[in-house]
Structure formats: C-alpha cells, structure tokens
Amino acid sequence: MIKKIFRKIISPTVRERESKESDKFRLLEQKIQYRFRNKELLQHAFKHRSYLNVTQEKATASNERLEFLGDAVLDLVVTEHLYKNFPDEDEGRLSKKKSVLVSRKALGNIAADLSLGKYLFLDKGEEKTGGRKRLSNLANLFESLLGAIYLDGGYEAAKSFVHSILLSQMKEVLSKTSYLNYKSELLELVQAKGWGVPEYLTIEEFGPDHRKEFVVAARIKSKNLESRGKGLSKKRAEQMAARNMLRKLGGEEKNILRV
C-alpha cells in the first residue's frame, strides 16, 4: 500500500525528468545515426536497475532484458561478419577474434567514446560511486541500446549499428593487446603442442602497500622455459609473464588476431 502511494507521488517527477532528457537523446540519435520510432524504448535502454529505487517499478523494468537481447544480436552480427570476411580462417581463430570484439573492455571503451554514460538513469547511490563511468555499466549499455535498436528497427538496423560503431574499428580493437587474455592463449598453445600446462610462480613483491608491485614467472617445465612479467597485481603480472612467453615462442598471439 505504501509503495503504491509512493509511486503515485513520485511518478510525475520521474516522468518530468525523463521528458527533459528527450533533448539529450535526440543528440544521441544523431551520434549513433539511428532515429527511434519508439522513444520510450530508447530511454528504457538507459534505465539502470538502481533507478528502480526511484521509480519503484518491478525488476523487469530495467534495461537488463534489453541487454540480454542485445548480447544475442551482437553475437550473431559479429559472427556473421567474421565468417564472411575471413573465409580462410578456422573456427578457433574466428572465435578468438570474436571474443575480443565482444569483450566487456572493448564494448565499454566504445560506449565511453560515445559518452553513453551521461544518458544513464541512475539513483543517487550509483551516481555517487561513479556508475556513469563504470566499464561494466557502459558495456551493458552498448548491448541494451543494441537490443532496443533491434526491437525498434529490426535486424538490419541493428546490424548497421554494429558495423558503423564497432566493426568499422575492428582492426584497431583487435590490435589493442589490453583486450587479450594472454594466459588463455598461452594455455591453448602449450596444450596444443603437448607440453603440459604453464605454471605461474610469484618471484618478488616490492613497494608500499598502497602501490605494491609483483614479479611473476611463467614456466613450461617440459621445455625448461621461463619468462617473467611485472604488474600492480598478481593477475596483471601473470598476464605479462604469459605475454612474454608467447613472444619467446614466436609471437603466436599476433598470428591469432591477424586481420
């Protein structure tokens, strides 16, 4: 009962705020080169689940269902593009390219370039903790926006969006080594050669607690090979050690993502 009364009181304020946002969304439509027929669908794509604390709507009113749909559409569009444009590459290489293109980091960075975060509907708590710039939120936004475009304009409209916003930058995205999971690439390579499994050992820790650095060794015991990497976390140091091992083995990671 209290929730119903609260909803009646706050709903006009919420509707007024969302109406004021319409001008900003027109600028977004120009930026993404797609004009929505259903403007409510566009705004729905930017409704973070925290905003439901303000509107008192049910959980399904957030953009998460659109994100779920957009994820599937993105997978199909990217897979189709890779299949048609790399006829001489096997499933393994195509899968690795796709994993980079649809990664949280790649999508989040592209969403940041489009300034999608400023359109988000958030509650005060999420706003204060940097929700507009959080990479996970931005990556989710890319997918929810894509899902909204698919519902509003169909597959061809969604495909055009992915091509113009993401696939037009494919070479640049694939060349960014920060999107690669070097440990995964090294594991696949080593196992394919029958050399066992790489091992990672922390060799050294140094620096103050608030900025401690780690040195990690990646080892392939069966071949008596070792490479080292350094980072501000053990995970980062392991990735760098794996990268250096791949370079030592002949730069296989570059071949994997050759465009």
Active site residues: 71, 143
Contact by Cβ (8 Å): 112, 141: no
Q: How far apart are CA 213 and CA 224, in angstroms?
A: 26
**The CA-based dihedral angle spanning residues 28, 31, 36, 39, taken in that order and rounded to the nearest 10 degrees:** 0
Q: What is the DSSP string of 90-139?
A: -HHHHHHHHHHHTSHHHHHHHHHHTTGGGG-B--HHHHHTTTTT-HHHHH
Q: How far apart are CA 138 and CA 119, in angstroms?
A: 11
Q: What are phi and psi of 7, to 5 degrees?
A: -65, -40
